[in-house]
C-alpha cells in the first residue's frame, strides 16, 4: 500500500484472485489472515494514530499515519473489494462521507448529476444543498424507467446515480440497462447497494462503475457502528477517491473497521434470514384492511418483480407499507408495535419501523422526492417471523 497524498491505497492482488471462491468463504477469509506473531485467528485491532519509521521515509509495510492507512481499515477494504467484485475499496466514517468523497472525485463546476427520484433523502440533500453551491447541477428521474432516464440525461451529465431497491418505495432499477445508457452519455454510473448488499446484488458485474454502501446498515448489521464505503474496479476512479480519502480524512476508526469486518463474516447467513422474514411479513400484510399497499420486490405483483428475480439473489429485508388511515394511523401503529421499534436506520438484527416523511426523508418534503405521508418503512430483523407478523397484525387490527 501507499500513503502518498496523490495516490490511492490499492487493495492487494489476492482480493481479486480469491473471487473464484464462494461468497461466504471470501467474507470469512479475505483480508483476515491470522496474526503472524501470536497465531491469533482474528486479526488484532490496530488502535494507533501513527507508526514508527525506520529512518526518514522508512515505512514499515507502507504505514505512516492512520489517516493514510491502517491495517484494520485495510483488512476491511480488502474484504469489501472482494465481495463486490472490485479491485479497490475505501471505507469512511459514514455513508454520506463515502458519497461525498466519490462526488468530489468525479465532479467539477458545471457538471450534472442525474439521480433516481426515490433515494435516501440525505443523498439528495448532499448534492442539492452542498454540491450545488459549487456549481453542480442536479435533477431526478424515475430510475426504474429507462426511457425516463434517457430523456433526463443532459450533455453535461457526469454522474448517473441509482439506488436499487430504492428507499423507501422499493423500486428496482435495471442496473445493466442504466450502465449502458450512462456510459453512452459519458457518465460515471454509481449504484447504492446498501439495501441489497453485495450478497444479493453485484452492480459492478452488471456494468456500474462504482458501488456505494452505508456500512452502518446490513454490512455492519448490529446497530453498533456508523460507516460507509466506495468500491470500484476502475483504477483511475480509485486513484481519485483514494486521494479524497487521504486529503479530506473522513475515515472510519480502526475499531469501527474491525467491527465491520467481524460483521461481514456473517453477512450471507444474516441476509438469508432477513429475506425469509421480509417475504413472510410482506405476504402476511397483503390484503389486510388497514393496509392499502405493500411494497416489496418479492411479491409477484411488484412492478419490477421479474427484474428483481434476474438481478438479485434474494429480495432483501426491507418492506414498505401504506395505511388506509393516513397520518393518524401511522402515529397510532408506531405507538402499538413492540418488536418493531420506532427508529431511523435499518439492516440490524432487530426489527425497526421508520416514518420516512418525518424522519429519513424530512429534508426532501415539498420536492419531487417527497415520500407519501401514509407510508411506513419496515426493516425486518432476525426475530421469529411468526412473532413479527403477530406484532404488526395486532397493531394493524387496532386500526381497522
As a whole number of angstroms, the distance between CA 227 and CA 213 comes to 8
Out of 192, 256, 374, 391, pick the active-site residue. Answer: 192
Assess contact for 259 and 216: CB atoms under 8 A.
Answer: no
Out of 26, 73, 217, 377, pick the active-site residue. Answer: 217
Whether 192 sits among the annotated catalytic residues: the reply is yes
Cα–Cα nearest to 166, from 24, 323, 364 = 364
Strand locations in 76-145, DSSP E?
88-92, 112-116, 137-141
Q: Tell me the helices (H) and strands (E) count for the chain, helix number first.
A: 14, 12
Out of 30, 118, 120, 313, pick the active-site residue. Answer: 120
Out of 67, 125, 150, 265, pick the active-site residue. Answer: 67
What b/e readout covers 274-286, taking b as 16+ CB neighbours within 10 angstroms? bbbbbbbbbebbe
As a whole number of angstroms, the distance between CA 291 and CA 399 comes to 10
List Cα–Cα distances, 246 to 72, 91, 141, 215, 379, in angstroms: 16, 11, 33, 19, 34
Residues 6+ apart with CB under 8 A from 368: 117, 140
Whether 120 sits among the annotated catalytic residues: the reply is yes
Which set of grid coordinates corresponds to residue 304? 419490477
List Cα–Cα distances, 224 to 201, 258, 345, 378, in angstroms: 24, 12, 11, 19
Which set of grid coordinates corresponds to residue 126? 448532499
List Cα–Cα distances, 197 to 16, 65, 224, 313, 326, in angstroms: 18, 31, 18, 10, 31
Which set of grid coordinates corresponds to residue 396? 394493524
The residues annotated with a catalytic role in the active site are: 67, 120, 192, 217
Amino acid at each position: 500500500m501507499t500513503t502518498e497524498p496523490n495516490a490511492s491505497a490499492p487493495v492487494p492482488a489476492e482480493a481479486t484472485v480469491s473471487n473464484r471462491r464462494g461468497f461466504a468463504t471470501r467474507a470469512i477469509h479475505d483480508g483476515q489472515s491470522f496474526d503472524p506473531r501470536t497465531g491469533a485467528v482474528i486479526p488484532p485491532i490496530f488502535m494507533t494514530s501513527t507508526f514508527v519509521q525506520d529512518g526518514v521515509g522508512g515505512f514499515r509495510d507502507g504505514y505512516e499515519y492512520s489517516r493514510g492507512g491502517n491495517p484494520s481499515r485495510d483488512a476491511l477494504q480488502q474484504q469489501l473489494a472482494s465481495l463486490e467484485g472490485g479491485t479497490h475499496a475505501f471505507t469512511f466514517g459514514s455513508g454520506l462521507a463515502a458519497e461525498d468523497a466519490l462526488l468530489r472525485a468525479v465532479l467539477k463546476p458545471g457538471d450534472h448529476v442525474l439521480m433516481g427520484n426515490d433515494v435516501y433523502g440525505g443523498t439528495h440533500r448532499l448534492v442539492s444543498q452542498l454540491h450545488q453551491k459549487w456549481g453542480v447541477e442536479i435533477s431526478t428521474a424515475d430510475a426504474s424507467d429507462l426511457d425516463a432516464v434517457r430523456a433526463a440525461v443532459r450533455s453535461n451529465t457526469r454522474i448517473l446515480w441509482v439506488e436499487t431497491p430504492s428507499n423507501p418505495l422499493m423500486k428496482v432499477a435495471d442496473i445493466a440497462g442504466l450502465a449502458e445508457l450512462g456510459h453512452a452519455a459519458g457518465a460515471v454510473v454509481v449504484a447504492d447497494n446498501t439495501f441489497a448488499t453485495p450478497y444479493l446484488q453485484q452492480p459492478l458485474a452488471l456494468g456500474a462503475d462504482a458501488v456505494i454502501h452505508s456500512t452502518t446498515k446490513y454490512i455492519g448489521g448490529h446497530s453498533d457502528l456508523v460507516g460507509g464505503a466506495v468500491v470500484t474496479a476502475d483504477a483511475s476512479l480509485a486513484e481519485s477517491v483514494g486521494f479524497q480519502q487521504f486529503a479530506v480524512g473522513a475515515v472510519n476508526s480502526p475499531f469501527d473497521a474491525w467491527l465491520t469486518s467481524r460483521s461481514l463474516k456473517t453477512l450471507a447467513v444474516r441476509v438469508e434470514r432477513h429475506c425469509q422474514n421480509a417475504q413472510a411479513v410482506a405476504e402476511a400484510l397483503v390484503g389486510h384492511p388497514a393496509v392499502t399497499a405493500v411494497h416489496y420486490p418479492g411479491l409477484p405483483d411488484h412492478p419490477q418483480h421479474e427484474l428483481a428475480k434476474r438481478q438479485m439473489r434474494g429480495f432483501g429485508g426491507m418492506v414498505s407499507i401504506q395505511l388506509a388511515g393516513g397520518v393518524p394511523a401511522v402515529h397510532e401503529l408506531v405507538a402499538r408495535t413492540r418488536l418493531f421499534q420506532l427508529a431511523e436506520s435499518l439492516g440490524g438484527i432487530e426489527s425497526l419501523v421508520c416514518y420516512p416523511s418525518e424522519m429519513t426523508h424530512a429534508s426532501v418534503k415539498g420536492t419531487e422526492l417527497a415520500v407519501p405521508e401514509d407510508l411506513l418503512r419496515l426493516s425486518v430483523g432476525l426475530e421469529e417471523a411468526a412473532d413479527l407478523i403477530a406484532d404488526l397484525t395486532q397493531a394493524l387490527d387496532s386500526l381497522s
